[in-house]
Structure 1
């Protein structure tokens, strides 16, 4: 009898809990889970949206097509290059900026605001500003010319167009991660640094042997967020190239290619969702590898 009443109470409490969670679960189901399931379903079909939605089952054909699509290979290559360069540099820059602000420099509050301003700017607006700066007669080439350094056609030259986007995004994204690092630095006990000073450690030694090890969990989080964000590069590439991924496909990314196939080509919506599903798998694998690597590092 006691067990029966206790089990009823547990069921009642569980029901109340699910009732309170229902609004969030419904929203997640409609706007997150349902679109994911729909995208997976469409990836196995040829989809015609004009003149009424028409679905034709294709099995794994859309996924097999990726292996023969030269533009998909270029987009994957550009995206991987972008990720491999941007993630480490933005993480390192964020850590250096946070450490410099945490060192008690004069005007610390002022520099916090100045450093964080790029993050507050709209991505589209920031891209337009940099396009003006990257113009052949723009600010950056003017400064390079004053320093007697070579100037570039930043937007029109395939060899530097992707690099131009990298520079812009490192400068714009690092301050966001800087704030995360800055909050983590406040939690490192001062006694660690005081003990290191008594042992005669230099500033660089304290940074490398105390600051960096204590920030490993935060660094893992920053790298994972950076991986997810960089793999999804779209708006800057779209604005820079006018949606084409040019010049000569040098700024073509996977997400931009998905957009082109989904909304600019007829009958390729299913192929676009297959590309999106492939990108999600790549991001998941990269995230899991990073988590595994960070856990192995913490054991030493």
Structure 2
């Protein structure tokens, strides 16, 4: 009897592994193997175009990051972008969700309108914003109609990255708003009713009930926002035609990785080292955020 049970357990386990094989194959082929190869390249001087060659150079690629001025600029631009976009888009998503959950008239229509930017391709949104900030774009036309001088928004290093920030906050906040809306459904109405009896106004209810109740969701939203914003590429690429300009003001780490990997010969290994550096930064930022979330939960 025990032997039959053992055989049946082995058979069921084998069947389970057979069903897992397609997923395991995809993970191995498209995730694990590329990551492993990127780690390998990070310690090599690689020439992939023309006569392919690779030479082991140890940590020289990582040491180069410490002295590469463009890498410093890209890291600073990315950190500034993350530090501004993540808090604003998180707060905006929470406020929008709270407003829509309050039962305003036409909330279904507003949900659709707010969510439309998320459904639109980021490339299309970037082209629209480029047209808006163009020398002859919508914003300058409005200035001209008011008798104000036109301004070269896209060509000003002080404005270019801010324009990308505004576009991404506007387009990404609705996605996180939907997540908050789903979480708000789990907060009992009785809690708000008790607050009403205590004379709490709308702001006090939002700050003392809604925000604490949404803390786990906020942690998830912030982590997802960190991962997404650190990987900013397509908007910066389109906005600057792949250069990171003007004056490197829109140069991000991922865009710099692309430039070294596919535009400069013999720097694929250095691009891989930059990718590993970015992965380490994302990991550290995520761990710090999780630590703060756990400390807040304890209090």
| Fold-level similarity (TM above 0.5) | yes
Counterpart Cα distance in 2 of 1:90 and 1:267 = 39
Q: Is residue 138 of structure 1 aligned with residue 137 of structure 2?
A: yes
The residue aligned with 2:120 is 121
The residue aligned with 1:240 is 239
* Secondary structure of 1:244's aligned partner: coil
The residue aligned with 1:49 is 48
* Secondary structure of 1:46's aligned partner: strand
The residue aligned with 1:91 is 90
Counterpart Cα distance in 2 of 1:74 and 1:182 = 37
* Secondary structure of 2:111's aligned partner: helix
* Secondary structure of 2:294's aligned partner: helix
Q: Give the C-alpha shift of residue 40 in structure 1.
A: 0.4
Counterpart Cα distance in 2 of 1:190 and 1:85 = 33
Q: Which stretch shows the higher mean deviation, 8-17 or 65-74?
A: 8-17
* Secondary structure of 1:47's aligned partner: strand
Q: Give the C-alpha shift of residue 152 in structure 1.
A: 3.9
Q: Give the C-alpha shift of residue 5 in structure 1.
A: 4.5
* Secondary structure of 1:160's aligned partner: helix
Which structure 2 residue ranges, 5 or more long, are not aligned? none
Counterpart Cα distance in 2 of 1:124 and 1:222 = 23
The residue aligned with 2:69 is 70
1:37-67 deviation per Cα after TM superposition (whole angstroms, max 9, x unaligned): 0000011101111223211111111011100
Normalising to structure 2: TM-score of the pair? 0.96
The residue aligned with 2:78 is 79
* Secondary structure of 2:26's aligned partner: helix
The residue aligned with 1:32 is 31
Counterpart Cα distance in 1 of 2:98 and 2:61 = 48
The 1:227/1:7 distance shift into structure 2, 3 A limit, reads same
- Aligned pairs, number: 299
* Secondary structure of 1:56's aligned partner: strand
* Secondary structure of 2:55's aligned partner: strand
The residue aligned with 2:276 is 277
Counterpart Cα distance in 1 of 2:295 and 2:42 = 36
* Secondary structure of 2:67's aligned partner: coil
Q: Is residue 112 of structure 1 aligned with residue 111 of structure 2?
A: yes
Counterpart Cα distance in 2 of 1:294 and 1:239 = 35
Counterpart Cα distance in 2 of 1:278 and 1:9 = 48
Counterpart Cα distance in 1 of 2:106 and 2:148 = 33
The 1:238/1:87 distance shift into structure 2, 3 A limit, reads same
Q: Give the C-alpha shift of residue 187 in structure 1.
A: 1.1
The 1:232/1:149 distance shift into structure 2, 3 A limit, reads farther
Q: Give the C-alpha shift of residue 216 in structure 1.
A: 0.5
Normalising to structure 1: TM-score of the pair? 0.96
CA RMSD of aligned residues (A): 1.6
The 1:81/1:39 distance shift into structure 2, 3 A limit, reads same
Counterpart Cα distance in 1 of 2:140 and 2:105 = 32
The residue aligned with 1:218 is 217
Q: Give the C-alpha shift of residue 13 in structure 1.
A: 2.4
The residue aligned with 1:229 is 228
Counterpart Cα distance in 2 of 1:252 and 1:280 = 17
Counterpart Cα distance in 2 of 1:202 and 1:42 = 58
Which structure 1 residue ranges, 5 or more long, are not aligned? none
